[in-house]
Structure 1
Amino acid sequence: MRRVYMDANATTPLLPEVVEAMRPYWMEHYGNASSIHQQGQRARTAVDQARETLAEFFGCHAAEVVFTSGGTEGDNTALFGLLHPGDHLITTSIEHSAVLAAADRLAHDGIATTKVDPRPDGLIDPMDVLRAIRPETRLISVMLANNETGVVQPVEEIGRIAAQTGVFFHIDAVQGAGKIPIDVNRIGCHVLTISGHKMYAPKGIGAMYVRKGTPLDPLMVGGSHERRRRAGTENVPAIVALGKAAELAMHSLETGAMHRLAGLRDRLENGILAQIPGTGVNGSGTPRAANTSNIWFDQLEGEALVIALDLKGLAVSGGSACHSGATEPSHVLMAMGLDKTRARASLRFSLLKTATEEDIDYALEVVPAAVGRLRELAPELAGTAG
C-alpha cells in the first residue's frame, strides 16, 4: 500500500543532508564542547559554526543564540524567565500548550494572564493586545504561525506595540521556522523560540534568540554553558543537525520552495472542497504557513476520518499532536468560534516540503472515498447507539 505523510506539523523526518552532517559527531568527534583538549575543541568549533548559522537564520548576533532541547523548553524559559509575582502576561487563547500550561502554572505565583481571542478567521487583532496592556504588564507572548490552522499572526504590528509600551515580547516560532522568513529585528521581539523536529532536524533540539540585555532567568541551572543561559552539556550532534537544517531552510526560502508548497496545499484544498459537499477551510482568507490546511467535514467525527485515512495509507491529524487522544475539541478552533461538532469534524493536513503532485493526487483519491463511506455509515451507527 502506498503511504503518504501529511502530518508535518506534528514532526518531520531528518533530511539526508542533516543525517550526514551530524553523523561524525556520534562516534568520531564525540568530545565535550566544554573541554579544552583537541577532541573538545573540535566539538566546540562545530557548535560555534551551528550558532553562526542560526544567527543568520534569526537575523541576530551569534551571542544571542541559545541552544535548548526544543520548543517547550524555549517557551517555558521565556515565561518563567521573564515573569515574577505581581507581573501581568498577555498571550492568546490559540497558543500551544507549552505557553498556555506555563501561564496556568504561573498563576499560582500571582502572575495574572490575559488571553486574547482571535477573530473568526484565526487572526489576532493587535488592537486587542494593546487594549489588554496594564501598568504591570511585563510580557506579551504570541505564536508566529498557528500549529493547527497555519494562520500567520501580525507579529510585527504587535512588536511595535510592545516597543511603544515598554513590554517584553516573546515569539513562539516553532511552526513558522523554515516556512516563513524570520528577522528578529524587524519583528521587534526579545525572545524567539524554535524546535528542530518541526524543520527536518532531530527531536530533542531547539534554539532561542535572546536579545542582548534581556533579563531572562535561566530555566536550567548548573554549569556555565550557553553563557550561563542554559546549563547542561551541549548535544553536539543535534546542534550540528539543527544548524544544517537551518541552512537548508534558508535555501528553500530563497529558492521559492514555499511557493511551490503553497500551490500544492491550495490544490489539495480546492480539490477537497470541489469534490466533497459540507466542507470548508478554517482560517481561509488569511496569511497561512505554506504547508498547512485545516478542513472541516460536516456529519463526521474527525477521529474516525483520521483512522479511515490511515488505513488507506494517508497520515493526517485531528489537530495538535500534543493533544492526541484528547476527547475535547481543539481549543484553537473553539476560540475561533466553531461549535464543538464542527471543531471535532476538522482535520489538519500539513505537507512535507518534499511533497509531490502525486501525493496530492493520492489524497484527492482517498479522502472523498473515505468521507463518503463514513457519511453512509453515520445514520446506521446513530441508529444502533441506543
Structure 2
Amino acid sequence: MAADPVYLDHNATTPIAREVAEAVWPHLTQDFGNPSSASVQGRRARVAVDRAREQVAALVGAEPDEIVFTSGGTEANNIAIRGTARHLTTRVAVTSCVEHPATAAPLAHLQEHHGWQVHELPVDGECRVRLDALPTGAIGLGTLILAHNETGAIQPVAQLAERVHRLGGLVHADAAQAVGKIPVDVDDLGVDLLSIAGHKLYGPKGVGALYVRRGTRVSPVVLGAGQEGGLRPGTENVALIVGLGVAAEVAGQLLSAEVERQAALREALWDRLARAVPGLVRVSPEQACLPNTLMVSLPGRLGAQVLEAVSDVSASTGSACHAGVHSPNAALLAMGLDADTALGALRLSLGRSTSTEDVESAATALARGLVAL
C-alpha cells in the first residue's frame, strides 16, 4: 500500500486532534441531551457547552459570555458584518482588497441591498493592507482578515481598530486562519468582533465561534429561538462545540512551541527549495507571517500542473480553474505580482504533524516537479 502524500495543506483544513475526537464521541452517543432541556441529560449538555465556551474564550483573551457558537467562520463573519450593520447609522465600511469571500460577500450584500459604501483598501507587495488609504470621513464598520489565508501575511488589525474607533466605527477581524497558529488576544487587537473556525485549529468542521465584545449591538441573521444569546438560534451542536472547546485548550497549550517549531521547518523548506530551483520567488513575507505558511512561485510554470505531477505532496495553488482555464489569484495580482508569477504560485502550509523528514521529502519532490515541467 502506497504511503499517503506529505500533507502541506493545513491552511485548507487540519486533521482533528486525538484529544478532540475522544471528547466528541461521548456526545454523539450517550451524552445526547438538549442543552435547552431541564432534563438530567440536558443539564449535562449545558455544562459541556459552558465549559467549551470558557475554553474558547481563554484562547483569545475573552470572557465566556462574549463567545457565540456558530457553524463556522463563514457564519461568524455574516453575523458580525450583517448583524452589526443594522445598528450602525454610518453606512460606510472599510476592508482590504484581499479578503476571504466569507467577508467580501456579506459586504457586497450590504452594498447592493442596503446602500452601504464599501472601501476596499489596497495592499503592498507583502500583501499587507495600506492604512494610509483609509478614507477620512466617518466609518461605520472596519473588517480585516487577521492572517491572510494564501500568503500568511499578518495584517495590522490593531492599527486599523485604533483608527476606525477614532472615526466612530466598530471593528471585526476574521481570525479563522490565525487562531491556534499565532497568539490572538482580543484586547491587544482592540476589536469588537472576531471570527473563529474550528477546522482550522484541529477541531471539527461545521463549528466555529464569534467573539462579541460586551456592549456591542448585534442582531441575528437567522431567526428562531433564543439560543446563544439570541444571536444563533437552533439547538446547539453539543458534540462539535465540545470538540471546538478542547481544540482551543490544546492549541493554547501547544502554541508557543509549535510557532517556533513550524517556523523553523518553514524556513528549512524554503532554503531547500530555493537552492534546488533557480528563479523561485518567495511570495509569503519573511516577517509578520503565519509560522506555518510558505507561498512560492516559479514564473512560467503553472502551479496546478506542478501539483498534478507531484503526487506525493498535498498542497494548494494560487490560481482558480474554470472550464479548464486557469486564472491568477486576485490577491496576488493586488500585491503587484504579474500574471505568470501568480499562476505559478504554490501554497505550502505546515502543521503539528509535519516533521523534518516530511519537509525533506516534500522539498525533493516539489523541486523535481518544478524543474521538470
Task: Bin the TM-score by the shorter chain.
Answer: over 0.9
Contact 1:86 1:110 in 2 (8 A): no
* 2:343 is the counterpart of 1:340: no
Contact 2:284 2:296 in 1 (8 A): no
Contact 2:95 2:121 in 1 (8 A): yes
The correspondence of residues 115-154 of structure 1 with structure 2, limited to 5 A, is 115-128=120-133, 131-135=134-138, 137-154=139-156
Q: What one-letter code is carried by the residue in structure 2 that aligns with 1:149?
A: T
The residue aligned with 1:357 is 356
Q: What one-letter code is carried by the residue in structure 1 that aligns with 2:306?
A: L
SS of 1:47's equivalent in the other structure is helix
Q: Shift of the alpha carbon at 1:163?
A: 2.5
Contact 1:191 1:209 in 2 (8 A): yes
Q: What one-letter code is carried by the residue in structure 1 that aligns with 2:162?
A: R
Quick one: distance in 2 between partners of 1:161 and 1:170? 13
Where structure 2 has 5 or more consecutive residues not aligned to the other structure, the ranges are none
TM-score, scaled to structure 1 = 0.92
Cα deviation digits, residues 217-238 of structure 1 (max 9, x gap): 1112201000111111100000
Where structure 1 has 5 or more consecutive residues not aligned to the other structure, the ranges are 375-386
The correspondence of residues 365-380 of structure 1 with structure 2, limited to 5 A, is 365-374=364-373
The correspondence of residues 88-103 of structure 1 with structure 2, limited to 5 A, is 88-103=92-107
SS of 2:177's equivalent in the other structure is coil
The residue aligned with 1:260 is 261
The sequence identity of aligned pairs, in percent, is 37
Quick one: distance in 2 between partners of 1:353 and 1:160? 34
The residue aligned with 2:66 is 64
Cα deviation digits, residues 91-125 of structure 1 (max 9, x gap): 00011011112222221121110000111111123
Q: Shift of the alpha carbon at 1:243?
A: 0.4
Contact 1:68 1:208 in 2 (8 A): yes
SS of 1:132's equivalent in the other structure is coil
Quick one: distance in 2 between partners of 1:138 and 1:159? 12
Contact 1:90 1:133 in 2 (8 A): no
The residue aligned with 2:233 is 231
TM-score, scaled to structure 2 = 0.95
Contact 1:163 1:188 in 2 (8 A): no
Contact 2:321 2:327 in 1 (8 A): no
Quick one: distance in 1 between partners of 2:91 and 2:210? 23
Q: What one-letter code is carried by the residue in structure 1 that aligns with 2:221?
A: L
Cα deviation digits, residues 299-351 of structure 1 (max 9, x gap): 20111112112x2x20010138xx67583211110110111121111010001
Q: Shift of the alpha carbon at 1:133?
A: 4.2
How many matched pairs?
366
SS of 1:170's equivalent in the other structure is strand
Quick one: distance in 1 between partners of 2:321 and 2:54? 36
Alignment RMSD, CA only?
1.5
SS of 1:217's equivalent in the other structure is coil
Runs of 4+ in 1 over 3 A off after TM superposition: 323-327
Assess, with a 3 A threshold, how the Cα gap between structure 1 residues 351 and 194 changes in structure 2: closer, same or farther: same
